[in-house]
Amino acid sequence: MKKLFAEFFGTFWLVFGGCGSAIFAAAVPEFGIGFLGVALAFGLTVLTMAYAVGHISGAHFNPAVTLGLWAGGMFPAKDLMGYIIAQVVGGIAAASVLYLIVSGKSDFVDIGSFAANGYDDLSPGGYSMGSVLITEFVLTMFFLLIILGSTYPKAPAGFAGIAIGLALTLIHLISIPISNTSVNPARSTSQALFAGGEFTSQLWLFWVAPIAGALVAGFIHKVLFSKD
């Protein structure tokens, strides 16, 4: 249960910090943090929680990461479902708190896109479904290769959280204009449920592409890089 609570709180912090920065601080006149700040915020959420609870649960905070680690032979199959449920619930809980905050604004009308992910008309840059699918697949694959490599027993100890946090920052720098950046089905689900409409109907891609990329990375790591 400690592991599941760690995954819940870690995913909560990722969604609250990353999506919260996009909702509240990205476009504020005069001192908004912009998409560069949002990218950094997502990286910082993972970096901070990796050191806070990584020793408890491994700091996945992402169903694609959990499945990628399983494919790479670094996570037991029996724990898959519990981790994924804890991550999705943590993300939804964070989105609920974000909704309570944003709906309390004096000029509140609706939540808009709520930092949800999308393609075609819902893509920030108008990118097609194919472009978004390729982006999410490739970026998640490399994210998992970085995670698997930096957490490998023979890797330098104590630096994995830094490498993973910076990798997530870089991923967002690349893909916020393309898809609002998912690489995390739990993060995508939490925001789509509140944004509703077409965001919900497009949610399938932000499960399929990241998980496919993560599984491919796990098998690549097992075959090419792992000596065990």
The CB density around residue 41, as the number of other CB atoms within 10 Å, is 21
pLDDT at 225: 80
What burial class does residue 107 get, using C-beta atoms within 10 Å of its C-beta: 0-12 exposed, 13-18 middle, 19+ buried? exposed
pLDDT at 61: 98
Domain 2-225, CATH: 1.20.1080.10
Instruction: Report the sign of the C-alpha dihedral through residues 183, 185, 187, 192, in that order.
Output: positive
Alpha-carbon distance of 57 to 60, in angstroms, equals 7
Q: What phi-psi label fits residue 59: left (phi over 0), alpha (psi between -120 and 50 degrees) or beta?
A: left
Which residues, 6+ apart, have CB-to-CB distance to 89 below 8 Å?
A: 8
For residue 150, name the pLDDT band (cuts at 50, 70, 90): very high
Radius of gyration of the chain (CA): 17
Nearest to 15, CA basis, from 43, 52, 42? 42
Given the structure tokens 């796990």, which residue do they identify?
218
pLDDT at 228: 56
Hey, what's the torsion of the CAs at 113, 61, 25, 172, to 10 degrees? -80
* Stretch among 45-49, 78-82, 151-155 having the lowest mean pLDDT: 151-155
Digit-coded pLDDT (tens) for 91-101: 999 999 999 99
Count the residues in the chain. Answer: 228
SS3 annotation, 19-55: HHHHHHHCCCCCCCCHHHHHHHHHHHHHHHHHHHHHH
For residue 110, name the pLDDT band (cuts at 50, 70, 90): confident
Q: Is the pLDDT of residue 226 over 80?
A: no
Q: Is the pLDDT of residue 33 over 80?
A: yes
DSSP state of 184: -
